[in-house]
């Protein structure tokens, strides 16, 4: 109990401001922060043996942020009720990516090997699963995964961190 109390005291503000970078609504931020600490509470025994607690905390935060956007994306996609759409509309920022950002992304994708780029676009633009892409391109599922991860790593290191984070949260 004391270990969790210390963990919470040491990281509550850091986690809150980290989540605030990705979510604008204060109630949603508080909900996500709560989910992060609930997850950490459930796995506190694993944290005792870990050398890098901070890395685990922020990895958990990223996962919970992604879960938040996935959940809200599903709510929006499955709902025909306009009032639900209106309630969640402020959570999806308008003009997430500017024309210049799209141009930058396109120019970066041109630098990636053609095969990797094609597999990446099949997954991210056409929403094909790794299995389906592997089947269509006569490759193993792990080969497809490696190609796509290579492109993601390239984009992450060469594209603005903020834009990549938005792409990650909305499209992955």
CA–CA separation, 136 and 134 (whole Å): 6
> For position 140, what pLDDT does the model report?
93
Handedness of CA 150, 156, 159, 164 (dihedral sign): positive
User: Cβ of 72: how many Cβ atoms within 10 Å?
Assistant: 15
**Domains (ranges, CATH) in the chain?**
2-89 (1.10.1740.10), 99-171 (1.10.10)
> For position 142, what pLDDT does the model report?
92
Q: Indicate the burial class of 52 (C-beta count within 10 angstroms; 0-12, 13-18, 19 or more).
A: exposed
List b or e across 9-22, with b for residues whose CB sees 16 or more CB atoms inside 10 angstroms. Answer: eebeeebbebbeeb
Residues 6+ apart with CB under 8 A from 128: 122, 136
pLDDT digits 0-9 by tens, 67-124: 888 777 654 444 444 444 344 444 444 444 556 666 777 778 888 899 998 998 888 8
> For position 147, what pLDDT does the model report?
92
């Amino acid at each position: 109990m004391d270990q969790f109390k210390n963990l919470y005291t040491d990281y509550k503000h850091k986690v809150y401001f980290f989540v605030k970078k990705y979510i604008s609504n204060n109630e949603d931020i508080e909900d996500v922060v709560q989910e992060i600490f609930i997850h950490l509470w459930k796995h506190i025994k694993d944290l005792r043996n870990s050398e890098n607690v901070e890395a685990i905390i922020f990895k958990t935060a990223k996962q919970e942020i992604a879960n938040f956007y996935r959940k809200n994306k599903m709510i929006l996609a499955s709902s025909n009720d306009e009032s639900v759409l209106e309630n969640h509309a402020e959570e999806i920022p308008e003009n997430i990516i500017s024309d210049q950002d799209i141009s930058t992304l396109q120019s970066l994708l041109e630098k990636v090997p053609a095969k990797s780029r094609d597999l990446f676009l099949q997954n991210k633009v056409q929403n094909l699963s790794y299995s389906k892409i592997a089947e269509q391109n006569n490759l193993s599922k792990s080969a497809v995964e490696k190609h796509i991860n290579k492109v993601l790593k390239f984009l992450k290191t060469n594209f603005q961190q903020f834009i990549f984070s938005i792409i990650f949260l909305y499209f992955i």
